[in-house]
Structure 1
């Protein structure tokens, strides 16, 4: 397993993924902490010398090995916001299926979901349409190409949405979830209109969306082991999967503003709640 060498607390995510890998893979696990200036060719020779049969790469530093490993050693990648590109792995991008499951748990009266996205996320929106259809939800998707188009579309969607049945989803998208321009605008307008807003980005629940999700890193590690074994034994590529194992962060102030209440049993299932009591 290849992962960036980092000091605490920056190594916590990688250590959690490693814990998941070790839980799923009971045989020998050889770890290779990578320094910033490591030599990929030298590392490839080391892997060959060590008779490594399967590889998991974590983070951007490990992903630098992808081209060298291709067609030599079965490998999968994690701890990155991967998109389909011919490589297999678990993306940090949340699975729309799990997002919609959590949405209906928190706001069961939701009927229509609006999402504004840029072309690079078409693969994710396709998954979301399928997940919505399975739940008899209407997903209305709006493709935009730039920031000004995104802002105009957000204003139109929020002004026309029905606050009793509609929700607005912020995907992980550099254009349509822009932190400096889009997020403050959408938070303000959705709050004013009492429109349910949820997000794929972990930090957004703290900022004011009803909920957001963050990775279950141990679960990601377990899935990475399953995928690399599929590559090794079955010779089939599982491709890139969105993160299906997620934890839930909920903004209780926003929930109260929207008229949503949760039982003590529900509250215990939330991994994080905001605002954090002082």
Structure 2
């Protein structure tokens, strides 16, 4: 009997250590950032807001050992989540080794991953040229069954992993369908953008967008369906280079009706280039009274009516749920999905300029309001 209890205790101790590793998440406090913004918008909003940020530490090997009795260990072993986690291995997160404020976005996603699973989660900051042999060896020593790659460097490092290690992707902007990767893009779901647009401007009938098919064809396909669902026409115009985009925007905005048309700026490096094209579009829409909304939250303070940004912690929880499904033998998604757990920033001055009046009650429906009261 004593031997049996000792064997059970050893098994439970292994499960308890695994849980302790997963639970050893640091408290990611962001000094100077409003409580509403913490753990959500992360680096993108901090860049917009200009608030300072600390450098959270994600320790891949931090394990907190807590003195427990034999009875407590047996109680832990009986928990369904602990029993389900035994033998499933660990989840590894490979994230880009970048400086603040962008690092905070990754640590917020990692917090969500840790909160979304009882499995051990180990996090590694990697360079784009990480040695695949060393990385594979390290992951296997730690019992890794699935990797969540965050950011371009995390994705590049994951590309060299052994094929029996499953990979999910997060924290990246644009990937084509041909990449055959599963995960969540930083790009907001057009359905969420258009729903918010109709809420603000119920008389709106058409959304104008200029895009490069090499970057955004997959997104425009989703946008066409989303527009139809909202009773909108998506007027999408192709620009294969910046010169064509510079030609198109003034023509399209000049013929737009500010009461029925709006211009959408997706994440597209060609047609929404920051140095030349963005100032042009802001000037033209501002002069013409045509509403402008964006997938990039940084544009909101520059004159966009509203913009949407992923909630990083919720993205992490969603990635964790997908990882658990894959570990349980669920079907693996074969495409990158846009972000659907989003927060919205709105500019009251731009809203007033296009005839949208937002009282205090309506303002509470937005996560970030500028200028600050």
Structure 1-normalised TM-score? 0.93
For 1:42, the equivalent position in structure 2 comes to 134
For 2:205, the equivalent position in structure 1 comes to 111
1:237 aligns with 2:329: no
1:27 aligns with 2:119: yes
RMSD: 1.8
Measured in 1, the distance between the counterparts of 2:208 and 2:357 equals 23
For 1:100, the equivalent position in structure 2 comes to 194
For 2:308, the equivalent position in structure 1 comes to 213
Helix, strand or coil for the counterpart of 2:235?
Answer: strand
Q: Quick one: which of 147, 163, 167 aligns to 1:55? A: 147
Kindly provide the CA deviation profile for residues 18-48 of structure 1, in whole angstroms up to 9, marking residues without a partner as x.
1211221122222223367643320111111
Kindly provide the CA deviation profile for residues 178-224 of structure 1, in whole angstroms up to 9, marking residues without a partner as x.
11111111111111111011111111010001011122101111121
Helix, strand or coil for the counterpart of 1:69?
Answer: coil
Which structure has the larger Rg over C-alpha atoms?
2
Q: Is the 8 A contact 1:82 1:240 kept in 2?
A: no
Helix, strand or coil for the counterpart of 2:160?
Answer: helix
Q: Quick one: which of 67, 89, 95 aligns to 2:183? A: 89
Count residues in correspondence: 277
Kindly provide the CA deviation profile for residues 203-247 of structure 1, in whole angstroms up to 9, marking residues without a partner as x.
101000101112210111112122223333224234201111111
Helix, strand or coil for the counterpart of 1:224?
Answer: helix
**213-222 or 34-43, larger mean C-alpha shift:** 34-43
Q: Is the 8 A contact 1:230 1:237 kept in 2?
A: no
For 1:258, the equivalent position in structure 2 comes to 354
> 5+ residue gaps in structure 2?
1-92
Deviation for aligned residue 1:123 = 0.8
Helix, strand or coil for the counterpart of 1:76?
Answer: strand
For 2:218, the equivalent position in structure 1 comes to 123
> 5+ residue gaps in structure 1?
none
| Compared CA separation, residues 162 and 193, structure 1 to 2 (3 A) | same
Structure with larger RCO (C-alpha < 8 A, sep 6+): 1
| Compared CA separation, residues 9 and 186, structure 1 to 2 (3 A) | closer
